[in-house]
Amino acid sequence: MQHRYQFNPHLNRDETITNILVKALTVFPTPDFSLCLSLLPCHTLAPLHTSSHTPAAGDAPLSEAVQKLNVLKNLLEGADYAAFWSTLDSDDLYADLVADVSGFEELMRVRIAATVSQSIREVDRNILESWLNLQGKEFEHFVGTVCGWNVDGDKIKVPINKDNEAKGTVVRENVKFDQFSRVIRRAYEQPA
């Protein structure tokens, strides 16, 4: 399918491209979004208000959409989840872009929670509320039922898993002296 669009750009449909990019956002932190971007023409990523590029008919809406989605991707990659939600709510174009992806907000919450659970075992409730863009009963339901985490007053406890468990590791190397003697001998044997 990608080859059909990549090698036949006249078949491109902006809505299809943006829907694919939005779906790729829902599986962060995988590189899917960046891979999708690499298949788009370069002018799609160029800033809209440059004098060196005059967009062809139909380019401006796609360029603007791609750039806005790229902003969201950068916020997710930077783990700036509160800014992700405020940016998503800041412009009607974002709402239009994600409208065709059923359950977008819920998918994003699940991915954010999965990412958080990989590195944190305890977090303040107000911080996690801002990261998930949920408050009150909705927050408690999501954290308790969907994530399986415990609400302990103002703290949320994430159960230990293989990713967030702190364990020490001991690295040992067994280097025999004869290995050094070979290296030293080679150094002396080489002509200067």
- AA identity, residue 97: L
Q: Which pLDDT value is given to residue 8?
A: 62
Q: Among the listed ranges 16-20, 43-47, 85-89, 139-143, which one has the minimum average pLDDT value?
A: 43-47
30 pLDDT more than 60 = yes
Q: Reduce the DSSP state of residue 122 to 3 states and report it.
A: strand
Q: CB within 8 A of 87, min separation 6: which ones?
A: 71, 72, 75, 94
Would you tell me how many other CB atoms lie within 10 Å of the CB of residue 59?
A: 17
pLDDT of residue 168: 75
Instruction: Answer whether 71's CB lies under 8 Å from 48's CB.
Output: no
Question: Whole-prediction pTM value?
Answer: 0.73
Mean pLDDT for all residues in the chain? 82
Q: Picking from 28-32, 39-43, 108-112, 136-140, which range would have the lowest pLDDT averaged per residue?
A: 39-43
